[in-house]
Amino acid sequence: MSLLVIGSVAFDAIETPFGKTDKIIGGAATYISISSSYFSKEVALVAVVGEDFPQSKIDFLNSKGVDTTGLQIKEGEKSFFWSGRYHNDMNSRDTLVTELNVLENFDPIIPQEHSSPEFVMLGNLTPQVQQTVLNRLSNKPRLVVMDTMNFWMDIALEDLKKTISMVDVLTINDEEARQLSGEYSLIKASRKIMAMGPKFLIIKKGEHGALLFHQDEVFFAPALPLEEVFDPTGAGDTFAGGFIGYLAKTEDVSFENMKRAIIYGSVMASFCVEKFGTERIENLTQAEIDARAAQFMALSQVDLKIVERG
Amino acid sequence: MSLLVIGSVAFDAIETPFGKTDKIIGGAATYISISSSYFSKEVALVAVVGEDFPQSKIDFLNSKGVDTTGLQIKEGEKSFFWSGRYHNDMNSRDTLVTELNVLENFDPIIPQEHSSPEFVMLGNLTPQVQQTVLNRLSNKPRLVVMDTMNFWMDIALEDLKKTISMVDVLTINDEEARQLSGEYSLIKASRKIMAMGPKFLIIKKGEHGALLFHQDEVFFAPALPLEEVFDPTGAGDTFAGGFIGYLAKTEDVSFENMKRAIIYGSVMASFCVEKFGTERIENLTQAEIDARAAQFMALSQVDLKIVERG
């Protein structure tokens, strides 16, 4: 089924304990599109770049089956640029540079042929822009998934809450869930956040996995313990892309199927962190994805016999 | 099968954001014994207390089926006492008081009838005392599980390594695994630690669950997301007690069965943190334990269909 992806398409420069990159392509929508393209063949992108963005990278997205009709290229302007440095534990980072550039006045124009998507993934962006996208759709989508971050909780909380009230699934990390709800217990936090509108909540815990909440149900998906996390940039977006890509492919938005989708999201994220930027997820094979999904199953599945005391 | 439990039997005084206790019973061996008693009827305790330790609490342990023949009561001496205060996030705590008392010169005397146990659980204690227990056994046990903590890594590393080399399963938390191995990646840490002797390693991650390592295999058991963690004291010991109690009961030390044992350990720990000290685990029913085990299964089990791309 058709999937519309909105978010940043950008340049990143990344430093980790393992090395540093020059400007490489990044941005939430880039990771989401690439990741979801392994599941759905109907991925369309709405985003904006400057004239500095290489045509070869757009060609690459097209080669993955991503429709870039909705990717605006602004003459005489520059693409969004982010630069960051990860600390030794890879769980925290410092932002070195943020240049909004074309994102400053991003007006998300949705091509006519993509204005009735069945699935929508709102990658991290100004809540106002995310909202505009939803308001410009011709039909109510079957499922809207929204990613966001603490930055918008700090500077645009009311806008953010309004947008959250319009979506079906919200994905945030554990610290953000605590900030948004004012609750330390993730169970209590999940209830408060679902009361804001979303019927489903995904709390991402990085190396500790992810939780899916829906009504009184909880599902926990582990993260694969890795030899080495090389670069965490884009892992959350890659997770979201695998998640919604799987749902769009299987056309099933039940809780049970979302559990599977979260495993595939985690599978895609586990590849992402193995190399810098999008490098590792650019050319995966179906066999690699299936093999890693099998690893996730081995990691967490158990046949439990309930024993009698005696 | 017979299970010998060694560790502290003590008094604790605990402060959490939810309140504080007077002196209540605590100690690793107390939690381990109570927890394992729900699975095995052949639990025997080797420990030491002072004359201040209430007979009613020893009677209580006996009522759970725990044999206390090996519990020494030192006339004119006082029991080990620990007092601590948890921070708001419950993940860190300050030790306010540690009085070793009878533990200072603890000579673990193993009653003749308990000197050939099939399973041994070395609760957290001086590594030298843990070692002495193993040296005093008449036969090599089927499985020895050892718990320890960072304190011994700081002050008695060589003794600790010697004891670790003598056991089958080591349980430590993630920070301790990193300290002991000098590796941040838990996969790398697990390899280095298993090279020290233990064929199995359990890394406890508190609210983030637990990992079981064996050769190249990994299993991940989630922790149950709870409304409220009321008091984390003894959770790790209660986990260990459920783990080894289940193994002793089922008489199966395969990796596959250890996966089940870890789920039951997590089940027992999830009860422990719901009230102060041992209160919540003192009078559980088999039905409560089974119901919670079912919750753990619902939390992490998924029927994954490998999809074809298209």
> Which CATH number belongs to the domain containing residue B14 in this structure?
3.40.1190.20
Q: Give CA–CA dist B143/B192, Å, rounded.
A: 21
Which residues does chain B have within 8 Å of residue A246's beta carbon, measured at their own beta carbons? 307
**Closest of B13, B118, B114, B124 to residue B71, by C-alpha:** B114
Lookup: tokens for B28: 């690793």
Please determine, for residue A309, whether its predicted confidence score (pLDDT) is greater than 50.
no
A·B CB contacts under 8 A: 126
Please determine, for residue A288, whether its predicted confidence score (pLDDT) is greater than 60.
yes
What number of CA atoms fall less than 13 Å from residue B1's CA on the CB side?
18
In this prediction, residues B170-184 reach a mean pLDDT of: 96
Q: Give CA–CA dist A233/A269, Å, rounded.
A: 10
Q: Give CA–CA dist A20/A124, Å, rounded.
A: 24
Would you say residue A187 lies in a domain?
yes
Q: Does the beta-carbon distance from B208 to A205 stay under 8 Å? A: yes
Q: Which residue of A has its CA nearest to B65?
A: A310
Q: Does the beta-carbon distance from A205 to B209 stay under 8 Å? A: no
As a whole number of Å, the CA-based R_g of chain B is: 19
In this prediction, residues A99-114 reach a mean pLDDT of: 97
Would you say residue B310 lies in a domain?
no
Q: Which residue in this structure is represented by tokens 């930055």?
A: A151
Residues B264 and B242: beta-carbon distance below 8 Å: yes
Tell me how many domains chain A contains: 1
How many C-beta neighbours within 10 Å does residue A257 have?
16
More confident residue, A93 or B166: B166
Amino acid at B169: V
Give the three-class secondary structure for A291: helix
Would you say residue A35 lies in a domain?
yes
Residues B108 and B129: beta-carbon distance below 8 Å: yes
Q: Output the pLDDT for position B305.
A: 62
Angle, CA of B74, B77 and B81, to the nearest 5°: 105
First to last CA, chain B: 54
Which residues does chain B have within 8 Å of residue A184's beta carbon, measured at their own beta carbons? 88-89
Digit-coded pLDDT (tens) for A237-249: 999 999 999 999 9
Q: Give CA–CA dist A11/A82, Å, rounded.
A: 6
Residue A114: pLDDT band by 50, 70, 90 thresholds? very high
Q: What is the pTM of this model?
A: 0.93
Would you say residue B307 lies in a domain?
no
Digit-coded pLDDT (tens) for A2-20: 999 999 999 999 999 889 9
Give the three-class secondary structure for B20: strand
Q: Give CA–CA dist A221/A219, Å, rounded.
A: 7
Range of the domain at A207: 3-300
Q: Does the beta-carbon distance from A263 to B302 stay under 8 Å? A: yes
Q: Please classify residue B158 by burial: count the beta carbons closer than 10 Å to its beta carbon, then call 0-12 exposed, 13-18 middle and 19+ buried.
A: exposed
More confident residue, B29 or A306: B29
Would you say residue B305 lies in a domain?
no
The neighbouring-strand residues paired with A85 are A15, A94
SS3 helix, strand, coil % of chain B, rounded to 5? 40, 25, 35
First to last CA, chain A: 54
Residue B306: pLDDT band by 50, 70, 90 thresholds? low
Q: Which residue of B has its CA nearest to A174?
A: B208
Residue B6: pLDDT band by 50, 70, 90 thresholds? very high
Which residues does chain B have within 8 Å of residue A310's beta carbon, measured at their own beta carbons? 41, 249
Q: Give CA–CA dist B306/A129, Å, rounded.
A: 35
Which residues does chain A have within 8 Å of residue B39's beta carbon, measured at their own beta carbons? 307, 309
Give the three-class secondary structure for B278: coil
Q: Does the beta-carbon distance from A304 to B290 stay under 8 Å? A: no
**Closest of B14, B31, B81, B33 to residue B237, by C-alpha:** B31
Q: Does the beta-carbon distance from B184 to A298 stay under 8 Å? A: no
Would you say residue A235 lies in a domain?
yes
Q: Output the pLDDT for position A90.
A: 77
Please determine, for residue B32, whether its predicted confidence score (pLDDT) is greater than 60.
yes
Digit-coded pLDDT (tens) for A144-157: 999 999 999 999 99
Q: What is the DSSP string of B46-78?
A: EEEEETTS-HHHHHHHHHTT-EEEEEEEETT--
Report the range of poorest mean pLDDT among A117-121, B43-47, B297-301: B297-301
Q: In whole numbers, what is the pLDDT of chain B averaged over residues?
A: 95
Crossing angle (nearest 10°) for helices A186-194 and A174-181: 60
Q: Which residue of A has its CA nearest to B284?
A: A309
Q: Does the beta-carbon distance from B187 to A263 stay under 8 Å? A: no
Would you say residue B116 lies in a domain?
yes
Amino acid at B64: K
CA dihedral A34, A39, A40, A41 (to 10 degrees): 80
Would you say residue B309 lies in a domain?
no
How many C-beta neighbours within 10 Å does residue A140 have?
9
Q: Which residue of B has its CA nearest to A222?
A: B220
Among the partner residues B88, B208, B263, nearest to A304 by beta-carbon distance: B263
Residue A88: pLDDT band by 50, 70, 90 thresholds? confident
